[in-house]
Amino acid sequence: MRLSAVPAIVLACLTLSGCSSSLGPEPLLNVGPSSETTSSVVRPTAPVPAAEVAQVADVEPAQPKVPPQPMPHELAWAGAVPQSPAFLQQQNAVPTAMPVPSDRPLAMSEPDDTDMDAPPRRSRSRIFSHRFRDAKPINFGSASPRKLAVHGVDVSRWQGEIDWLKLQSQGANFVYIKATDGGDHLDPMFRKNWRNAHAAGLKRGAYHFFYWCRTAGEQADWFIRNVPREANALPPVIDVEWNGESSCKRRVSPEKVREKMQVFMDKLERHYGQRPIIYTAPDFYRDNLKGAFMDYPFWLRSVAAHPSKVYPGRKWVFWQYSGSGISHGVDNRIDLNVFHGNEDDWHDWLSSRT
């Protein structure tokens, strides 16, 4: 019995060993981490960098120092990755945007001497020297208009077709163009002259010949209807004079003259944003305007003497010194004018009016 029991025990052991070995060794690489956690296992919130799986060895290899890879939507940080405990603790916190160095310092984006409050600089137009001739020259002596720097002309349909570039080369730095008469007449050359003078680079403005037989409001509306409001245009002009060739022969009192003028000028100033200029001749000025409208700019006709002699005490901006000018670019006689000041004064006046 004792001997026979030994084989039985051996046989039982062999049977148990065969059941266990029929499954084979458990593949280690197919066993993933548990989806459960305990208080002793904390999952990192930051992404874990992927690493190449090493061959199973008896000794665990040293872990390479691999900096954490950026998320696809984040910019990479070129600096060294700190390994301090504070940094590791920060990895478990809510991630924040990491500072990214700019391409260049902010101070380099603008010149140091830029004055942000300074107004934009205006480009100065070229001043063409006076080269006009005069069919009826006048000797103005030491007060000659030739001594002033900025000359110009005024035109209407009576000058016909104009070569504006040639006229400019002769000394026309500005031009006043006849636009309207009364309350229903438009100069047939106005639109063409207005367009072509601008294309040639001349400073241009429009003038209205005032009729004493029409209301001031009607005349202002007619002018506004036909003359564009443009930022770079010269101030509008009201031409007031007695004209025997006009169909309107009426002459009103000085008080009525000034009243009608004021209505017209107020309406134009509201529309164009510029105070109108008053053009007049010696006899009309003497009868109606002497001592009046002192805060308005004047354009004075004086073809025989300096304005200071014909209009004593009156300040002026433009002086019409000839009605018999001759110039290349114009077939007929042309009115010649000059600005009261030097080139700097001209540019300053333009910038304050246009």
Pairwise CA distance, residues 67 & 50, whole Å = 11
Structure token digits, residue 72? 């696809």
Pairwise CA distance, residues 322 & 186, whole Å = 25
The bridge status of strand 151-155 relative to strand 334-339 is antiparallel
pLDDT at 123: 67
pLDDT at 69: 52
pLDDT at 275: 98
207-254 pLDDT tens trace: 999 999 999 999 999 999 999 999 999 999 999 999 877 788 889 999
Judged by phi (left if over 0) then psi (alpha if -120 to 50, else beta), residue 170 lies in alpha
Pairwise CA distance, residues 50 & 315, whole Å = 89
Tallying the residues shown for the chain, one arrives at 354
Burial environment of residue 127 by CB neighbours within 10 A (0 to 12, 13 to 18, 19 or more): middle
9-63 pLDDT tens trace: 434 433 434 433 334 343 333 334 333 333 333 334 444 344 343 343 444 445 5
128-157 pLDDT tens trace: 999 999 999 999 999 999 999 999 999 999
255-282 pLDDT tens trace: 999 999 999 999 999 999 999 999 999 9
The bridge status of strand 133-134 relative to strand 318-326 is antiparallel
- Catalytic residue numbers read 241
71-96 pLDDT tens trace: 444 333 334 444 444 544 544 444 44
Convert 9-25 to b/e letters by CB count within 10 Å (16 or more is b).
eeeeeeeeeeeeeeeee
Give CATH for domain 149-353. 3.20.20.80
Domain limits of the chain? 149-353
Q: Is the pLDDT of residue 98 over 50?
A: no
Residue 239 · residue 206 · CB < 8 Å:
no
pLDDT at 124: 83
